[in-house]
Amino acid sequence: MRTQVGIIGGGPSGLLLSQLLHLRGIETVVLEKHSREYVLGRIRAGVLEHSFAALMREAQVGERMDREGQIHEGFFIAHDGIKERVDLRALTGGKTVLVYGQTELTRDLYDARDRFGGVVIHGAEDVRPHAIDTSRPYLTYRVGADVERIDCDYVVGCDGFHGVSRQSIPNDKIRLLERVYPFGWLGVLSRTKPVSPELIYAAHERGFALCSLRSPSLSRYYIQVPVTDSVDDWSDEQFFDELHRRLPDEVATAMITGTSIEKSIAPLRSLVVEPMRFGNLFLAGDAAHIVPPTGARGLNTAASDIYYLYHALVDHYSKRDDRGLESYSERALARVWKGQRFSWWMTMLLHQFPDNSPYENRLQKTELDYLFSSEKALASLAENYVGLPF
Closest to ligand FAD by CB, 223 or 251: 223
Q: Which does 300 bind (CB under 5 to 8 A by kind): ligand DHB, ligand FAD, none?
A: ligand FAD
Encode burial over 249-260: b for 16+ CB neighbours within 10 A, e otherwise: eebeeebebeeb
Taking the C-alpha atoms of residue 348 and residue 113, their distance in angstroms, rounded to an integer, is 39
- Residue 287 contacts by C-beta under 8 Å, 6 or more apart in sequence? 9, 13, 157, 158, 159, 160, 161, 163, 165, 166, 273
Instruction: Please give the size of the binding site for ligand DHB, defined by CB under 6 A.
Output: 9
Contact pattern for ligand DHB over residues 207 through 226, marking x by CB under 6 A: -----x-------x------
- Residue 176 contacts by C-beta under 8 Å, 6 or more apart in sequence? 271, 272, 273
**CA nearest neighbour of 113 among 43, 41, 34, 12:** 12
Which residue stretch of 5-13, 109-117, 176-184, 317-325 sits at the interface with ligand FAD (rule: CB under 6 A)? 5-13
Binder of ligand FAD out of 26, 139, 243, 296 (CB under 6 A): 296
Instruction: Please give the size of the binding site for ligand FAD, defined by CB under 6 A.
Output: 37
Residue 387 as a binder of ligand FAD (CB under 6 A): the answer is: no
Q: How far is the CB of 11 from ligand FAD (least distance, A)?
A: 2
Binder of ligand DHB out of 165, 257, 294, 304 (CB under 6 A): 294
Binder of ligand FAD out of 59, 186, 302, 325 (CB under 6 A): 302
Encode burial over 91-113: b for 16+ CB neighbours within 10 A, e otherwise: bbeebbbbbbbbbbbbbbbbebb
Taking the C-alpha atoms of residue 353 and residue 350, their distance in angstroms, rounded to an integer, is 10
Binder of ligand FAD out of 21, 28, 44, 192 (CB under 6 A): 44
Q: Which of residues 45-74 bind ligand FAD (CB under 6 A)?
A: 45-47
Distance of CA 178 to the CA centre of its chain: 17
Taking the C-alpha atoms of residue 132 and residue 277, their distance in angstroms, rounded to an integer, is 10
Distance of CA 25 to the CA centre of its chain: 27
Binder of ligand DHB out of 5, 15, 26, 47 (CB under 6 A): 47
3-state secondary structure of 39: helix
* Residue nearest ligand DHB (C-beta atom): 46
Closest to ligand FAD by CB, 146 or 355: 146
Closest to ligand DHB by CB, 46 or 184: 46
Q: Tell me if 283 sits within 8 A of 273, measured CB to CB.
A: yes
Residue 129 as a binder of ligand FAD (CB under 6 A): the answer is: no
Residue 113 as a binder of ligand DHB (CB under 6 A): the answer is: no
Q: Rounded to the nearest 5 degrees, what angle is found at the Cα of 92, between the Cα atoms of 88 and 98?
A: 50
Contact residues for ligand FAD, defined by CB under 6 A? 8-14, 31-34, 39, 44-47, 102, 124, 127, 158-160, 162-164, 185, 187, 266, 285-286, 293, 296-300, 302
